[in-house]
Structure 1
Amino acid sequence: MENKCKMNGRLKDSLPCIPSELLLNPFVHHLELTSTLDKIKTAFLTVTFLPLRVVCIALLLALAWVLACVGLVGLDENDVRCKPLTGWRRSLRAVISKLVRLLMVFGSFNRVQVKGRQATQREAPMLVLAPHSSFFDALPVVVLGSPSVVAKAETADIPFFGKLINYTQPVYVWRDDPKSRQKTIKEIVSRATSKLEWPQILIFPEGTCTNRKALITFKLGAFYPGVPVQPVCIRYPNELDTVTWTWEGPGALKLLWLTLTRFNSTCEIEFLPVYNPSEAEKQNPKLYANNVRNVMAKALGIPVSDYNYSDTLLIKKAVELNLPSASDLVKVQKLRSKIGLDTVDIEVQKASQLLKKDLCSVVEFAKILGVGVNDVSMQELFQLYIKNGEKIIDIREYLLDIIVIHMKSKTVNMARLAFEAASCDQSNMSRSEAVHALKIAFNMSEERTERIFSKFESTSSKFNYESFREYALGKEDLAWIFAGPKKDC
């Protein structure tokens, strides 16, 4: 009997079905109104409730912002970072929290279910929240009493919300600063061991938003200090998931619109028992993080995943290149890692030697990768590129994908490989192949690559890497790609 399975919306056959948990992609969320009743209800609430809710939210946000500004009057950055708020400023923070909570009620979140007990700062200096899936996770933050969040420094510049975040006395992380991690750890340890009444520190250890289908790898910042943490689980058990904000899925405005046009939305917050690290975990932050993640995954009833924050950087690069199914590149990267592949040169060369066409069978694909035809990771990788139930793939799609994965800095060598991978006939590429190669190799828009190729066509009858290099060196706006100290573009 023919074995078939559906993956990524396409029918895959001819190979064994891969277990669904191996194909779980935490960075994809699909949201559509499918029933007529939902569409009618949303349309009705859009013209009735939505305007009223927006006005109320705007007024509450403005009032909270004004109070935060008042609370910060007379304090400089050093005051906010180095000592906890006291007296009326501390009381004002509680008032602001209540205002933001009311703001969330007008945002349809009038149902918040809390399970368990929140530990005190002395019991657990750190609160670890997961899964992180939305900007609506500000609701759990408010319910927890507006603790100090660990956030990227850019959040301080967000209109209105930046001032509110500042008032929680956050621990900011400058991702572009190589010493930022050490500074962050030092500040966390200082607050955790201080005798002053600092608020608890809250962190989302996943470091990015997911679809809550699995817990991705925890970043280690919360676990380096080796202090007790309290795991806090977040759930949104709503019939229609209008909160999940991932790399591939509906944008922020659509999510806001659909959430504000719900009668009610529910959030569940569960406080798990305080996790006190063992001596081994104190010495090994990765072990500590993994063990806490396992505890939270068990409570949530979801699996753990080896996806991590750095994977989103790859997705971001693919999105900038307008590549379809950008998050699938992460799957490709993970599978290649399992196979033990860490370079692209050999695969591009093998493909050129073995194939005289773009299409590739699973046997040929295994030879290009240098593994056996029964290798499970190779089979899963092959299935990612199958279209319309065919038993062959376009090897050029795969080669260009792995060039994007490995192109951390777009070197001339990677550009040459992109040209080689874009066409079987590297001496004379077609227009579409040339445009694709330029786009991948130099992170150019399709419009710009089309313009460059049109100009190039008037000067040469053949397009390939060498002819383009010669052409580019004679153009001021393109010479930087190949010449001088800016050789890496």
Structure 2
Amino acid sequence: MPPQRVFALPRQQSLLLPAVINPFVQDTKLTTAAIVKCVLLGIFLVPVRAILLSLVLMVTWPVAVIITFKHPLKGAVEPMTGWRRFMCRRVMAALGRTYYFCMGFRVVVKGKQVGSSEAPILAVAPHSTFFDGIVCIVAGLPSTVSRVENLATPIFGRFVRCLQPVLVSRKDPDSRKNTIQEIDSRAKSGGKWPQVLIFPEGTCTNRSCLITFKQGAFIPGVPVQPVLMRYPNKLTLLLLTLCQLYTTVEIEFLPPHIPTEEEKKTPALFASRVRETMAQALGVPVTDHTYEDCRLMISAGELTLPMEAGLVEFTKISRKLNLKWDNVKKELEGFATMASSCKGGRITIEEFARFLKLPVNPPLEELFALFDRNGDGTIDFREYVIGVTILCRPANTEDVLRMAFQLFDTDEDKRITREEFTSLLRSALGVSDLNMTKLFKEIDADGSGFITFSEFQAFATTHPEYAKLFTTYLELQRYQAIQEARPGDLELSSQTDSGEKQEDSVSDKKDD
């Protein structure tokens, strides 16, 4: 067996694993003492708090009805003024504070909130729990961005109406555009509208990092005041919170971030710099995870993979590799097919070989090593997406495929017979006739008994790993020839090998 090449493939920081692998799972582990304490306190506190909360809601709901009576939410909407605004800012805010007080919340406010004329938008992070709504109470009931379905929620829907939210509808294809226009209009009203409060992460996390901020709060290009939320108690699940004597929440208003001209033109840059400021103040890292990672995580679960398998830092991967959501979702389905028999959502070289219907051999080992970016002997979905996109799909050019096709077509009659196919795979990759039969039938789509170039190309398009596998085989053949050269050619061999290493390194880093 020829010696296998060992590549030093540098990995740029841009596609290395994030500091926090899964920011969407809250792993709450309670000690026995904590559980006993929660049970004992809960026996007394939960019933009492439930009664108090019900009484507060009985008072708050009619007040909310009065405030929003005959006040439109759609069409030519004007900000609340006069008695409506007074009742909203004073009465409703006081009832809101009472509601959270009955749940045992102790609020600590740091910094100073500026007015809507100085910073029309409040950007709040991290968003981690249902209780984060307390920041709306502390900030004086500013407008929020809310799904239109929330208005139909019994009792609480009426409270949401008091905030005059910017409504988002999943059924309206123009909803995103209309939402951005409405935020822009309110932010540039010169203080006519109250501040707009936005959770720019767009979904809940476990507070271990700040994920990518959505750009909605930053597109208007107006000053944004960052607002931080901290929960020193750690236990912020509904029942656990009610079972504690008190829950501390710290709300800190940072100085407003006034955008530069560059940031006004580039909302993504504006969002990134605000996030960096907030992360430094919180003392947590940032990652490129987004809500789309949540969707991929759910899709992974539906495909019987561990949910964590779908986490790829979608924004970074899609931007670096020029991939769309549908592309990544399709790759996840392909990965699930390959990983269906393995546990933990990670593919070993044996499973990789089984999927390709090939034995473990030097070319396959080298291809697997290119996929395995962290060298742990397995391929996860993130490595698979990067590998297929950077390594395999570029190998599916027509020139490469024609070269591979010609390897099989030994008699140059522009078609590959079963014998030709068997002969090459047996000699090059060590595949037996028995293993080869099913693969040949898959490529021979029309069942004619031979493979045309169009069939070969169509198969390579949906199975890009094969194209790279054959080019890897050709490179190994060249490498073996160099190694077998006479001693006088060693210097040339070293130079050629170095050139090949550099070429492969560049190839691996195409978009890395």
TM-score normalised per structure 1: 0.65
More helix by share: 2
Q: CA deviation at 1:160?
A: 1.6
Structure 2 residue aligned with 1:447: none
Q: For the residues of structure 2 that align with 1:221 and 1:274, how far apart are their CA atoms?
A: 17
Q: Which residue of 2 aligns with 1:302?
A: 284
1:47 is displaced (CA, Å) by: 1.6
What secondary structure, in the 3-state scheme, does the structure 1 residue paired with 2:307 have?
coil
Cα shift readout 1:230-279 (whole Å, capped 9, x = no counterpart): 010111011xx222xxxxxxxxxxx2111000001110111111111111
Distance 1:332 1:426, change over 3 A: farther
| 1:177 and 2:172 aligned | yes
Q: Does 1:117 align with 2:112?
A: yes
Deviations 1:390-423 (A, max 9, x none): xxxxx9xx89xx9xxxxxxxxxxxxxxxxxxxxx
- Aligned: 1:72 with 2:68: yes
1:96 deviates by 1.0
Please name the residue that 1:163 is paired with: 158
State the partner residue of 2:311: 330
Moved more, 337-346 or 184-193: 337-346
Q: Is there any run of 5+ residues in structure 2 with no aligned partner, and where?
A: 1-14, 339-348, 389-433, 443-512
Is 1:215 the counterpart of 2:210? The answer is yes
Contact 2:42 2:244 in 1 (8 A): no
- Aligned twin of 1:270: 252
Cα offsets for 1:276-312 (capped at 9, x unmatched): 1111111111111111111111111111100011111
Residue 469 of structure 1 aligns with which residue?
Answer: none
- CA 335–137 in structure 1, closer or farther in 2 if over 3 Å, else same: closer
Matches within 5 A, 1:34-53: 34-35=31-32, 37-53=33-49
Superposition TM-score, scaled by structure 2 size: 0.62
Q: Are the equivalent residues in 2 in contact too, given 1:84–1:196 (CA < 8 A)?
A: no
Distance of aligned partners of 1:191 and 1:337 in 2 relative to their CA distance in 1, 3 Å threshold: closer
Structure 1: 5+ residue stretches without partners: 1-17, 244-254, 386-394, 403-423, 429-463, 465-489
1:144 to 139, 144, 169: 139
Deviations 1:456-488 (A, max 9, x none): xxxxxxxx9xxxxxxxxxxxxxxxxxxxxxxxx
**Could you say which residue in structure 2 is the equivalent of 1:108?**
104
Whether the 8 Å CA contact 2:117–2:190 is kept in 1: the answer is: no
SS at match of 2:200: coil
Shift of 1:327: 2.9
- Give 1:59's match in structure 2, choosing from 55, 74, 77: 55
How far apart are residue 339 of structure 1 and its match?
A: 9.7
Question: Structure 2 matches for 1:465-476, cutoff 5 A?
Answer: none
How many angstroms does 1:381 deviate by?
A: 8.6
Counterpart secondary structure, 1:304: coil
State the SS of the aligned residue for 2:370.
coil
Residue 188 of structure 2 corresponds to: 193
SS of 2:91's equivalent in the other structure is: helix
The corresponding residue for 1:261 is 243
Deviations along 1:99-121, whole A, 9 cap, x unmatched? Answer: 11111111111x21111100100
Partner of 1:233: 228
Question: Amino acid of the residue matched to residue 175 of structure 2?
Answer: S
Partner of 2:370: 371
Deviation at 1:74?
Answer: 2.4
> How many Å separate the matches in 2 of 1:325 and 1:230?
38
Structure 1 pair 196–335 and aligned structure 2 pair: CA distance change class (3 A): closer
Give the secondary structure class of the aligned counterpart of 1:209.
Answer: coil
Following TM superposition, by how much is the alpha carbon of 1:151 offset from its aligned partner in structure 2, in angstroms? 1.9
Paired residue for 1:242, among 229, 235, 239?
235
Using the TM superposition, give the Cα deviation of residue 195 of structure 1 relative to its aligned residue in structure 2, in angstroms: 4.5
Is the 1:234–1:269 contact (alpha carbons within 8 Å) kept by the matching residues of 2?
yes
Q: Distance in 2 between matches of 1:103 and 1:294?
A: 33
Letter in 2 for 1:211: N
Decide which of 126, 144, 153 is 1:131's aligned counterpart.
Answer: 126
Query: CA, structure 1 residues 353+215, in 2 after alignment: closer, same or farther (shift >3 Å)?
Result: closer
Counterpart of 2:25 (choices 12, 22, 28) is 28
Structure (1 or 2) with the larger CA radius of gyration: 2
Q: CA deviation at 1:214?
A: 0.7
Matched, 1:313 2:310: no
Structure 1's 116 and 26: CA in aligned 2 closer, same or farther, altered over 3 A? Answer: same
Query: Equivalents in 1 of 2:111, 2:217: separation in Å?
Result: 21
> 1:87 & 1:381 partners in 2: Cα distance?
68
Matches within 5 A, 1:86-105: 86-93=81-88, 94-105=90-101
Query: 1:15-71 CA distances to partner (integer Å, 9 max, x unpaired)?
Result: xxx998535310111113213x32222111222111010111122123212111111
Query: Is 1:287–2:283 an aligned residue pair?
Result: no
What per-residue deviation string (whole Å, max 9, x for no partner) do you get for residues 174-230 of structure 1? 234332122112111211222563110000000000001111000110111111110
What percentage of aligned pairs have identical amino acids?
39
Contact (CA 8 Å) 2:201, 2:214: kept in 1 or not?
Answer: yes
**What is the identity, as a one-letter code, of the residue corresponding to 1:33?**
L
Q: Residues 201, 383 of structure 1: CA spacing in aligned structure 2 closer, same or farther, 3 A cutoff? A: same
